[in-house]
Amino acid sequence: MPELSRRRALTATAALATAAGAGALVQTLNAPAASASGQSRHPEHTGHEEHGRHSPAPFDEVYKGRRIQGRPASGGAHQHHGGGYAVFVDDVELHVMPNADGTWISVVSHYDPVPTPRAAARAAVDELQGAALLPFPAN
């Protein structure tokens, strides 16, 4: 039997990781989009389709003393990043962006994906710790 070299060990590890990733991908693709009761797995999503995705439901609430809002974007918002959805903290736009896996990130919490735009707004309020959200300049 040949001696185990670093190259063979790395090749075997890469093959196992690829197989595990492929298995997880197949499982994700085969998962039902709705439960047996017919309800969406994400209650904040509505039946509106946009680029093959469900558009999150609008929201308007006060969270930790800050007004957070989310709604489908009108022509003035950055639709190329926000996926056609606009989020505001105290009437200042919080730039959000959907990820390919269905999670959302914002300019405030860019490295901490959350499941919905509402969660992104709440995470931004938490991160701001009372500071004002400053307008993000458009390029």
Residues with Cβ within 8 Å of residue 74, at least 6 apart in sequence = 86
- CATH architecture of the domain 45-128 equals 2-Layer Sandwich (3.30)
pLDDT tens digits along 9-57: 777 777 777 766 666 655 555 555 444 444 444 444 444 444 445 789 9
pTM over 0.75? The answer is no
Contact 79, 34 (CB under 8 A): no
Q: 120: closest CA among 63, 46, 54?
A: 63
Residue 80 has pLDDT above 70, yes or no: no
More confident residue, 8 or 68: 68
